[in-house]
Amino acid sequence: MFKIIKYLVYLSIIAGVIIAFIMWNGGDKIRWFGKKSEEVGHTVKEKSEVVGNKSDKLEEGLTEKKEFIEEKVKAVVKKAEEHGIIKREQEK
């Protein structure tokens, strides 16, 4: 128990020294980190919009192709039924 308290005291002293050093330098490091993280946030937002638009286009294309394939399959099945190749039971 005392070891945990000792480590917490050491950690708080180290954190205090780091914060005092940062404040002594005028907080430039914190502002720099904030600016860089803001730039990264804007880049991520732009790229996610681009990826979203591309995925929407892909989904539309796949939906169109799926509908086309379904129409062709229905046509082939109908022709096969007409020629007696496929026999389906009538649904009740």
Query: What would the pLDDT profile of 39-87 be if each residue is shown by its tens digit?
Result: 999 999 999 999 999 998 898 888 889 999 999 999 998 888 888 777 7
Residue 21 lies in a domain: yes
Query: What is the domain count for the chain?
Result: 1
Residue 70 lies in a domain: no
- Segment 7-45, tens digit of pLDDT: 999 999 999 998 887 777 776 777 787 898 999 999 999
Q: Which of 53, 87, 2, 65 is nearest to 10 (CA)?
A: 2
Residue 29 lies in a domain: yes
- Cβ–Cβ < 8 Å for 30, 22: yes
pLDDT of residue 91: 52
pLDDT of residue 30: 72
Structure tokens at 52: 């979203």
Q: Which residue has the tokens 């732009």?
A: 46
Task: Tell me: pLDDT of 92 over 60.
Answer: no
Residue 75 lies in a domain: no
Residue 57 lies in domain: 2-63
Structure tokens at 81: 């039924």
The one-letter code for the residue type at 22 is I
Residue 74 lies in a domain: no
Q: Where are the alpha helices (DSSP H) in the chain?
A: 2-24, 28-82
> What residues contact residue 86 under an 8 Å CB cut-off, 6+ apart?
77, 80
pLDDT of residue 90: 59
In the chain the first and final C-alpha atoms are separated, in Å, by 76
Residue 58 lies in a domain: yes
What's the length of the chain? 92
Residue 12 lies in a domain: yes
